[in-house]
Amino acid sequence: MKSVKDYINLLPPKDEARSLFNNRAFLPALLFTLAWLGLFGWQATRQWELRSRLAPLTAQKLALQRQADAMRKGLGITDSAGTGTNNAALIQSLLDERVLWSEVFRQFSMLVPKGLWFDSLEGNTAAKAEVRIKGGAVNYLSIAAFMLAMEKSGYFINPRLSYAQKITVRGREVVGFESTCGIMKKQEARDGR
């Protein structure tokens, strides 16, 4: 049996020490806050990286727009928008009529036999795309092999040998030649002509 003294206490009752860590809701709230801060930091870092990558791309876009404007001006297209289908078709047709000289040189590099060299190449696109070649060779067979390779290539049209004659260069006898041939343009290559 308890005495009255056990029921009367002038001292406040001892509360168990309340701690934030003992509270069941604190730990999930802390984890949620840490996860949210982590995601926020990650997103902020990504946004900073994207902004740093955006500056060079913007500069490149401006440079490309300036080049496009210069090309439009060079082609005589006065419409600054240049987005219509008619303008796109006009630009494509103009580009199809141009000769890509790097492709011409690449084709020549695959066709030139040993013992043959070019002294000069002269291109003309006024009426039709045509190339005049002046060069030399160690013998007539090299020139014949070159002319045959041009004829078989399908890229050069109607190759003609203007002349081939023996000449003396630095005390050595070689064969000088001149040849002309047409160049197949992009449109002709697509049509199969």
pLDDT value for 69: 85
The boundaries of the domain holding residue 58 are: 19-97
Same-domain check for residues 125 and 146: yes
The reply to whether 38 and 68 lie within a common domain is: yes
Point out the domain boundary residue: 97, 121, 139.
97
- How many angstroms separate the Cα of 130 from the Cα of each of 22, 29, 80, 90, 112? 91, 80, 33, 23, 18
Give the CA distances from residue 178 to residues 8, 59, 103, in Å, rounded to whole numbers and listed in that order: 128, 48, 21
Specify whether 83 is located in the same domain as 107: no
- pLDDT, one tens digit per residue, over 86-142 is 777 777 666 666 777 788 888 888 999 999 999 998 888 777 788 999 999 999 999
* Single-letter residue type at 81: A
* 8, part of any domain: no
Q: Do 26 and 92 fall into the same domain?
A: yes
Q: What is the pTM of this model?
A: 0.48
d(CA 103, CA 124): 15
pLDDT of 189: 47
Using one digit for the tens of pLDDT, what is the confidence trace for 41-65?
A: 999 999 999 999 998 999 999 999 9
How many domains are there within the chain?
2
